[in-house]
Amino acid sequence: MFGYYLDLALRSLKRSPVLTGLMVLAIAVGIGASMTTLTVMHVLSGDPLPGKSARIYYPQVDASPADWHNAHPLDMLDYRSAIDLWSAHRADRQTLIVDSSIKLRAAEANVPPMMLGMLSTTSDFFPMFAVPFAYGSGWTPEDDDKRTRVAVISIDLNAKLFGGKDSVGKVLRLKDSDVRVVGVLAPWRPNPQFYTVAGGNYANGDTAGFYGKTEDVFVPLQTGLEINDGNFWQFTCWGQPATPGHLQDAPCAWVGLWVQLDNAAKADRYRDFVANYAHQQKVLGRFAKDHWRMLDLMQWLDYNRVLPRDVKLQTWLAFAFLAICLCNTVGLLLAKFLRRSGEIGVRRALGASRRAVFAQCLTEAGMIGLVGGVGGWLLTLSGLWWVRRQQVAYSDLVSLDVSMFVATFALALVVSLLAGALPALRASRVPPALQLKTL
């Protein structure tokens, strides 16, 4: 029976090609606009550490003064609190994060000095975040303790300086110090760049910077502090350091701490540890309040509203446009089906049930949806091509994966069936006797 409905639907569509084309175009344009923006939002709202993000946490305590009436702890830690929590070794893995820029030169490379992003961190950073390596590896915990002058570089920097060859053992000049390359990253670009996410980094509300490329140079934390002393980005300060340019004793929040806790019991114990530390520091008079918090990775991204606001707005507007296209399709289908009232009356008089007429009309609407889905898919590819040409940090991340490909046709089919439901219901209720009198 379904094959019969398909044959009738195909004949009906061929009889009015202009009307059919208008309906297909309406669905295709609505699907193309909505799926383009939905694909962008799907890409940007993904999990940067699939299968592991629920075990990664961002602890916070608050060393800000009493007259700062912030409802939540500051997004980053002061240096002393960060070192205290990290030195306690209460987590399965833990890493400190400090971001900055650095002047880099390489004697063996015929390139001018460059200003690059540098991440000063600890050895657990690489295994904790499953960072892949093309050559070599990260440094060891002993290198953290000894402040060894070593570095890991990105694959892009390795290509610029050494032509993509194995550069382990090569020497780089960072500012006024030499460091030895111990590892070269394989292509790695977490989406978003979660480990440096902090709300105040983008005070103007532009979170697109969370989707940029990773730093080009990674060094042990204390090594970075020695090499680039005084030139780190101060996140939030409420006073001047006792020693000018010495951030370790500055009243500033500028260090991030990430911890890995492999089960819920460990996470609960670590929360108790952070809460006790905040309370203890308040009792000692170093903290004015015992604010503390510990969110997991995805909660932290949600709190910082990492998804760019313009992407959300564009998605809502695109689906509003799809609703308009749906209304237009409803009107066109209603006109098409009611224009065939005589034909439907004859079928009813010959014994066709209302359900059969409804199924036939709905099959026709579904065929329009499938053809519209093909057009919508082509328009989606065109829209994503246009997005990739925009000057935004996330443009090169946008692509149509298998799930969104399937969703394009599923949405087109659902939209067309919804659009066809009311016209099909009206057509199935056509009184056969009245229509037969007019023939």
Q: Which two tokens stand for residue 51?
A: 């299968």
What phi and psi values does residue 340 have, to the nearest 5 degrees?
-100, 25
To the nearest whole number, what is the mean pLDDT of the chain? 84
**How does residue 5 score in pLDDT terms, banded at 50, 70 and 90?**
low
**How does residue 77 score in pLDDT terms, banded at 50, 70 and 90?**
very high
CA distances from 61 to 55, 141, 382 (A): 19, 25, 47
Between CA 262 and CA 278 the distance in angstroms is 23
CA distances from 85 to 37, 59, 257, 380 (A): 42, 9, 8, 48
CA proximity to 365, closest of 429, 423, 426: 423
* pLDDT recorded at residue 427: 74
Q: Which of 415 and 292 is assigned the larger pLDDT? A: 292
Q: Which of 166 and 399 is assigned the larger pLDDT? A: 166
**How does residue 341 score in pLDDT terms, banded at 50, 70 and 90?**
low
Instruction: Tell me the percentage of the chain whose pLDDT exceeds 90.
Output: 37
* pLDDT recorded at residue 234: 58
Asked if pLDDT for residue 46 goes beyond 60, the answer is: yes
| Cβ burial 66-103 (10 Å sphere, 16+ → b, else e) | eeeeeeebbbbbbbebbbbbbeeebbebbbbbbbbebe
Between CA 187 and CA 145 the distance in angstroms is 28
* pLDDT recorded at residue 239: 80
Domain ranges of the chain: 2-45+309-437, 53-303
Asked if pLDDT for residue 68 goes beyond 80, the answer is: yes
Instruction: Tell me the percentage of the chain whose pLDDT exceeds 70.
Output: 87
161-208 tens-digit pLDDT: 999 999 999 999 999 899 999 999 999 988 888 998 875 444 444 455
* pLDDT recorded at residue 202: 44
Residue 4 half-sphere exposure toward CB, CA atoms < 13 A: 5
16-43 tens-digit pLDDT: 788 888 888 888 888 888 888 888 887 7
| Cβ burial 147-159 (10 Å sphere, 16+ → b, else e) | bbbbbbbbbebbe
Q: H/E element holding 77?
A: strand 77-78
* pLDDT recorded at residue 138: 95
215-265 tens-digit pLDDT: 999 999 999 988 987 666 656 888 877 666 667 778 888 899 999 999 999
Asked if pLDDT for residue 280 goes beyond 90, the answer is: yes
360-394 tens-digit pLDDT: 788 888 888 888 888 888 988 888 888 888 777 67
288-339 tens-digit pLDDT: 988 899 999 999 988 888 776 667 777 888 888 888 888 888 888 887 777 7
* pLDDT recorded at residue 132: 96
* pLDDT recorded at residue 209: 58
Q: Which of 103 and 319 is assigned the larger pLDDT? A: 103
**How does residue 70 score in pLDDT terms, banded at 50, 70 and 90?**
confident
* pLDDT recorded at residue 184: 97
